[in-house]
Structure 1
Amino acid sequence: MGRRAAHGAGAGGLGGGRAGLDAPVEGARAGGGGAGRGAAVVAACLALVALQLRHTRPGHDQQGPQLRWTVAELAVSAVAVGPLGVSVGLLCLPAASLLLERRRLLLGLLGAGAVLVEALRAATLRDTVDLLLTVALGGTMLYAVTTLALLATRVHAARLALAASAVTDERLRIASSLGSGLSAGLREIHDLAALQRPDVLDELIAVARRTLAAARATAAELRSLSLAPEAASARALLASAGIVADIRVGHREPLGPAGTVLATVLREAVTAVVRVGDARRCEVSTEERSGQVVLRVVSDGAPHGVALGADVLDGLAERVRAADGRLTAGLEPDGRFAVEAAVAAAPAPAAADPAELRTALALYYALLGMFCVKALMFVPAPRLALGAVCVAAFCAFQVRFSIQDATRHARLALLASAVLALVPLPWLGRNWIGAAGILAGSLLIALPLRAGAALAAALAVTAGVIGGDGPVSALLTTVSALVSCVVVYAVLRLVRLVRELQRATAGLARAAAVTERLRAARDLHDLLGHGLAAVLLKAELARRLADSDAPRCRAELADIVRLAERGRAELGALADDGPRLSLSAELASAAAVLEAASIAVEVEDGPVPAAAGAVLSVVLREAVTNVLRHSRARHARIALAVADGSARLEVENDGVPDGVTAPGSGIGGLSVRLAEAGGTLAAGPDDGWYLLRAELPLR
């Protein structure tokens, strides 16, 4: 090979079917210790690669400890390019290291040395410019790929921190929304009850009702972001009726206003399935279809449209239409009855591209731009117009199918890219080999790894055969195409990794915010709502006692003051990790509330660890509220016990309404809360009484 072939190419990537070890090969043929010189070249290259790998380890950005390795890398590079005669293109490795370590002075000296060496070696100015562009491109690519890989790792490690930040932001928003109306209502209840005057009882009851309605409405609004609570309630309701539940969730959350509508449809449809009572299996599914969230409830029992009733169906259909959706109900071809509701899905919030993605995209566009410049530099003048057309068309295909991930006509586009990469090789000059490398890297991304690797290797070999002048030249051309392939694959893979991390981080933050809202909704319903219900009950009792038993009336008002103070504390705790309740205090409060409603209560108390007691306290509140709201009980029993490594709470009463076969909807939220702690909840009629049993493992 001549002087131009020996020194004209460096790293070989993205243009130039040449390799940086041509000069040592030439020296080996000339004799004079060629074998030893070749071994030295190989050793130098391996040493540079090993030194380059240090940047992938933690702490690579600490400049002090790296200086001795930087000096060693520069020394090895100087020996390789100088006495050993390796191509200047090898300097892309130390150039990348200097960029990563931000050593601008040394980088300038390295660039000046590369210009001087190549000016002495190259036959033409064009060869000098071509090789220096290769050095700059190689160094930039190594720098960017290493930086992006480290940034992607940092983003991955920061996902939990971002989710925690989303939770904190959501808590602040919740606290802001709760701080006005509910806090003012509780303060007014406290102040009125503290007056100890019977003449304010009517006003007190009105305020308590208004505040309770606001708490329930706020809880419903918070719950509407997710169908998970209603789905849990549906599962519990169906299971208690002996119906196999198959629940499949295929939508993204949060749902926004659509969640309230779909939750109502789900609750009414499942209640109808249970009410009819002859179904053996019920399927509940959601999916996103054509910009809508579609909910289907399908059962194999008698058409529960009869149980729902025309008025209920009409009311549901009207609510769904008000949300710009549709509701249909009827028999399926297989004889099952289906209720289907479709509501517009909430648009996903537009998120700005992260800096890592912008850097990766800029890197790929720079890579294509460099390919264009290098390819056109060696196109003969009469064919320059053809070269420009081929370059523009090839880059357009790459941007469309590699960056934008378009799938329509993908096979045709890949075939067209292959034709553009291979056919012009004999006429568009040696640097057109970069097109084959870029296409090979795209194949590794677009196809399964094995198929992509096989086709990329075949493409590189084909490019070598077409573009090479002989066996050695064909081999060097193939290696050059493979180098370009690896660089392009790395960049495109990083683009996809950054996008995947962006989606995963956004999804995790969204899920964390939804979870936090559901926690606040449960606490509003299970704690504050039930406390306000107790306030209302005691206020009504105090009004009845105002004329007949003044001391008892004042005692009830004092209890209302205490309940209002506790409610305000719980409201403030909603913006934190949630209220921590005392089971003994809740047990005493439950007994007092039941006795105030003229229900004789039997309490079997037992020691329960504080952590389990905080969870069971919420269950106790819900159970007592259900006794007050949904039964005609005259007797009740509350039992606490610890046995076999579990804490158990049982609440039962003798006021089971006729026809009740399943727990109320509030039980679903408790089931979710207990499931998060590893516990279970069961509720239903038991020998003429209604029994709720919660078990929680002790850890």
Structure 2
Amino acid sequence: MVVILVVLLGVALDPLHPLPNGPAAAMLAVQIVHSAPRLRWLRGPWSLAAQAMLFPWAGQGAPGLLAASVLLIVRGPARWVIFTGVVAVAGLLNLEDAYTCANAMVNALSQGLIVFGVTRLSDLRTELHAARGELATESVVAERERASLALDSVLGSSLSAIIGLAAKARTEKILALAREAAARARETPGPPVELPRSDLTPRLALPILIAAHTGFLIVSAIYLWEARPPAWLLPGALLAVTGVIGLQLYHSLPRPPGVRPPYAAWTLPAQLVLACLPLLSPDQPYPQLVGFAAGSVLVLRYGRAAWAMWSIFGAIILGVCATLLLRGVASGENLYWTFNAVAISTMFYGLALHTGLVFQVREARLALAEIAVAGERRRISRDVHDLLGYGLSAIVVKGELALRAPERAGQELAGIAQIARRALADLRAIPRDDDPGLSLETELASAREILTAAGVTVHLGTAPWPRVPQPVDALLAVVLREAVTNVLRHSRARHCHVEMAWAGELVTFRVTDDGVAEGGAGDREAEAGTGGQGIANLAGRVAAMGGRLEAGPVPGGGFELLVLQPAGLCGDTDGVEAVAGV
């Protein structure tokens, strides 16, 4: 808001008449209503009409303020037509000579665009900041839709085919599809999809920057032409004007936070030199360009060097005043040009500042969206691995049993179809992040059936088992699924022990088998060369609820999964750390 007020003062105030007349003060007051964030609810057609009535008597800054108000209040293409009309009227009211007319029109054009740009970019920054999470939400929805299609085309089609093949008793084909689908379910998520990036800033920001700079370039060129400098000096002066304004535009283009334009260590001094040379013109000083260089100094202030750049800015402004004083410029004219340098530097600094802020908010929104999409991809991959891996392994076990014992083929194929239907329902719920409705009791019964079919004897702990809260129950069901999946895939176990105890606030859940990993001791997923993510997935799930998971070989051979879960919290309420132990 401070920048907006300074810009408005720079446009509205005439240093030769520091006490504005009534219409000028009223014009400025209405413009503050149009631009101040907390007062904009007051603006509307009535306030625009009031400015239009004050416009002819409100001084040199009135056309720029009215032009900005037209862009802020009028909607649709009509606002640009009316804006052009305001610029044209500013010229018609100043027909003394070509320079005066052009200067009035360009000032109305440039000042109107700058005030509109600073105000609107401030609005956009606020709007984007308030809606910074919307892009993340939309991106997650899009990622879920993409994942749903991908999963259904790969795993869903396989599970549907398995259901059909079970009815036709094509066991060997079922085994091939189940093994292929299980391998896909174990795949780690690929790199996140890059989100589409639109323009660095809202679509009007860069045109406003370019138009404002171009307008000042045109009026400066007309001023030089009307000033009639020596013929040998005019080309150099025009090149200096073009260089200063062009470099100021280059310095003002939006960039990531803290990133200076390439070669700024050279372009800024070059701009300062070009801007100061006209002050030393042999006939009379030309101080118009210094404001642009001073604005670049403000635009390029970063970090620890910010105070130094403010010092340089102050030195430049004081240097303009001192140079004009030494060259005998009258006090009133000295004040005018010094104030003109401050106004120009503030206006272009404000435009660059707010453009950069909008850029930063946009980048933050994109970063949040990318993080959200990456997290959603990991969640979907984790759920596919944890929820489908068990079912696909069970299908393989039952298929192999159907081949070994033809007399049981019908029973096992019916079981395969039932498991495939359940897995298909789980698969279609995963992208929506629906609760799969897992139950430890149901998973225990299923685990006993599948492990027994695979030749593994299941030993359950002392009954009755404690009834833990539903979130913990569902978590332990997932842990049991992964433990059984590991036994089926990666070991030659003959016995599997499942135990659970609830003492105080701590639930202890333990699954132990006597198998040896196919590749030897250690993390059997890694040893089996699958690049599996099951143990890491479980550790993340347990930690998210404030617990801790331990997994590893046990003395004498075998493998153990141990969960220490606080049943009373059902989540990490303090966010400090997982449970340290029993």
Q: Same fold (TM over 0.5)?
A: yes
SS of residue in 2 equivalent to 1:581: coil
SS of residue in 1 equivalent to 2:498: strand
SS of residue in 2 equivalent to 1:423: helix
Task: State which of 8, 33, 37 in structure 2 corresponds to 1:51.
Answer: 33
SS of residue in 1 equivalent to 2:204: helix
The corresponding residue for 2:491 is 631
- Aligned: 1:690 with 2:536: no
Deviates more, 1:104-113 or 1:580-589: 104-113
Q: In structure 2, how many angstroms separate the alpha carbons of the residues matched to 1:428 and 1:127?
A: 24
> Which residues in structure 2 correspond to 1:9-28 (within 5 Å)?
20-23=14-17
Q: In structure 2, how many angstroms separate the alpha carbons of the residues matched to 1:545 and 1:429?
A: 110
What is the aligned residue count?
529
SS of residue in 2 equivalent to 1:637: strand
SS of residue in 1 equivalent to 2:316: helix
Q: In structure 1, how many angstroms separate the alpha carbons of the residues matched to 2:207 and 2:241?
A: 18
Q: Return the letter of the residue paired with 1:670.
A: L
Q: Return the letter of the residue paired with 1:20.
A: D
Task: State which of 432, 436, 439 in structure 2 corresponds to 1:580.
Answer: 436
Q: Return the letter of the residue paired with 2:460.
A: E
**1:509 offset after TM fit, Å?**
2.8
- Aligned: 1:660 with 2:521: yes
Q: Deviations over 1:10-40 (max 9, x none)?
A: 9766xxxx95252466xxxxxxxxxxxx696
Confirm or deny: 8 A CA contact 1:639 1:650 kept in the other structure: yes
Task: State which of 341, 363, 366 in structure 2 corresponds to 1:481.
Answer: 341
The corresponding residue for 2:234 is 384
* TM-score, normalised via structure 1 length: 0.67
Q: In structure 1, how many angstroms separate the alpha carbons of the residues matched to 2:103 and 2:506?
A: 75
Unpaired segments ≥5 residues, structure 1: 1-9, 26-37, 226-253, 257-347
Q: In structure 2, how many angstroms separate the alpha carbons of the residues matched to 1:431 and 1:98?
A: 37
> Which residues in structure 2 correspond to 1:141-160 (within 5 Å)?
141-160=114-133
Unpaired segments ≥5 residues, structure 2: 1-7, 526-531, 572-582
Confirm or deny: 8 A CA contact 2:15 2:339 kept in the other structure: no
**1:631 offset after TM fit, Å?**
3.4
Confirm or deny: 8 A CA contact 1:684 1:690 kept in the other structure: yes
Q: Return the letter of the residue paired with 2:412.
A: E
SS of residue in 1 equivalent to 2:509: strand
Q: In structure 2, how many angstroms separate the alpha carbons of the residues matched to 1:627 and 1:376?
A: 83
Deviates more, 1:626-635 or 1:104-113: 104-113
> Which residues in structure 2 correspond to 1:218-257 (within 5 Å)?
219-220=186-187, 223-225=189-191, 254=192
Deviates more, 1:128-137 or 1:398-407: 398-407
Q: In structure 1, how many angstroms separate the alpha carbons of the residues matched to 2:145 and 2:65?
A: 49
Q: In structure 1, how many angstroms separate the alpha carbons of the residues matched to 2:34 and 2:67?
A: 10
* TM-score, normalised via structure 2 length: 0.79
Q: In structure 2, how many angstroms separate the alpha carbons of the residues matched to 1:93 and 1:642?
A: 73
**1:676 offset after TM fit, Å?**
4.1
SS of residue in 1 equivalent to 2:560: strand
Q: Deviations over 1:28-62 (max 9, x none)?
A: xxxxxxxxxx69689647634542334x249x4x7
The corresponding residue for 1:131 is 104
Q: Return the letter of the residue paired with 2:253.
A: I
- Aligned: 1:537 with 2:382: no
SS of residue in 1 equivalent to 2:390: helix
- Aligned: 1:411 with 2:265: yes
The corresponding residue for 1:337 is none
Task: State which of 148, 161, 165 in structure 2 corresponds to 1:192.
Answer: 165
Q: Return the letter of the residue paired with 2:265.
A: R
- Aligned: 1:599 with 2:457: yes
The corresponding residue for 2:179 is 212
Task: State which of 210, 215, 219 in structure 2 corresponds to 1:370.
Answer: 215
**1:134 offset after TM fit, Å?**
1.4
Q: In structure 2, how many angstroms separate the alpha carbons of the residues matched to 1:641 and 1:616?
A: 12
Confirm or deny: 8 A CA contact 2:88 2:105 kept in the other structure: no
The corresponding residue for 2:539 is 671
Q: Return the letter of the residue paired with 1:95.
A: A
Q: In structure 1, how many angstroms separate the alpha carbons of the residues matched to 2:395 and 2:475?
A: 22
Q: Deviations over 1:330-356 (max 9, x none)?
A: xxxxxxxxxxxxxxxxxx7874415x4
The corresponding residue for 1:568 is 424
Q: Return the letter of the residue paired with 2:29.
A: A
Task: State which of 295, 299, 317 in structure 2 corresponds to 1:445.
Answer: 299
- Residues 482, 677 of structure 1: alpha-carbon distance in 2 compared, 3 angstrom cutoff: farther
- Aligned: 1:360 with 2:229: no
> Which residues in structure 2 correspond to 1:329-368 (within 5 Å)?
351-353=197-199, 356-368=201-213
The corresponding residue for 2:44 is 66
> Which residues in structure 2 correspond to 1:79-94 (within 5 Å)?
82=57, 87-94=59-66
1 or 2, which has the higher strand percentage? 1
Q: In structure 1, how many angstroms separate the alpha carbons of the residues matched to 2:358 and 2:337?
A: 32
Q: In structure 1, how many angstroms separate the alpha carbons of the residues matched to 2:16 and 2:479?
A: 79
> Which residues in structure 2 correspond to 1:642-657 (within 5 Å)?
645=505, 648-655=508-515
Q: In structure 2, how many angstroms separate the alpha carbons of the residues matched to 1:691 and 1:609?
A: 24
Confirm or deny: 8 A CA contact 1:586 1:620 kept in the other structure: yes
**1:403 offset after TM fit, Å?**
2.4
**1:563 offset after TM fit, Å?**
0.4
Q: Deviations over 1:236-266 (max 9, x none)?
A: xxxxxxxxxxxxxxxxxx4x8xxxxxxxxxx
**1:622 offset after TM fit, Å?**
0.8
Q: Return the letter of the residue paired with 1:209.
A: A
Q: In structure 1, how many angstroms separate the alpha carbons of the residues matched to 2:100 and 2:504?
A: 83
**1:375 offset after TM fit, Å?**
1.0
Confirm or deny: 8 A CA contact 2:251 2:261 kept in the other structure: yes
SS of residue in 2 equivalent to 1:694: strand
- Residues 361, 428 of structure 1: alpha-carbon distance in 2 compared, 3 angstrom cutoff: farther
Q: In structure 2, how many angstroms separate the alpha carbons of the residues matched to 1:628 and 1:215?
A: 12
The corresponding residue for 2:579 is none
**Identity of aligned pairs, percent?**
30
- Residues 494, 215 of structure 1: alpha-carbon distance in 2 compared, 3 angstrom cutoff: farther
SS of residue in 1 equivalent to 2:44: helix
**1:429 offset after TM fit, Å?**
10
The corresponding residue for 2:74 is 102
Q: In structure 1, how many angstroms separate the alpha carbons of the residues matched to 2:370 and 2:436?
A: 26
Confirm or deny: 8 A CA contact 1:426 1:467 kept in the other structure: no
**1:411 offset after TM fit, Å?**
1.6
- Residues 496, 486 of structure 1: alpha-carbon distance in 2 compared, 3 angstrom cutoff: same
Task: State which of 250, 255, 279 in structure 2 corresponds to 1:425.
Answer: 279
Q: In structure 1, how many angstroms separate the alpha carbons of the residues matched to 2:503 and 2:235?
A: 87
Q: Deviations over 1:435-475 (max 9, x none)?
A: 32222222222232322222122212222333461344333
Q: In structure 2, how many angstroms separate the alpha carbons of the residues matched to 1:41 and 1:217?
A: 75
Q: In structure 2, how many angstroms separate the alpha carbons of the residues matched to 1:599 and 1:53?
A: 77
The corresponding residue for 1:436 is 290
Q: In structure 2, how many angstroms separate the alpha carbons of the residues matched to 1:212 and 1:407?
A: 55
Deviates more, 1:476-485 or 1:611-620: 611-620
Q: In structure 2, how many angstroms separate the alpha carbons of the residues matched to 1:543 and 1:41?
A: 97
SS of residue in 1 equivalent to 2:549: strand
Q: Return the letter of the residue paired with 1:505.
A: R
Q: In structure 1, how many angstroms separate the alpha carbons of the residues matched to 2:411 and 2:52?
A: 88
**1:534 offset after TM fit, Å?**
0.8
Q: Return the letter of the residue paired with 1:192.
A: L
Confirm or deny: 8 A CA contact 1:595 1:601 kept in the other structure: no
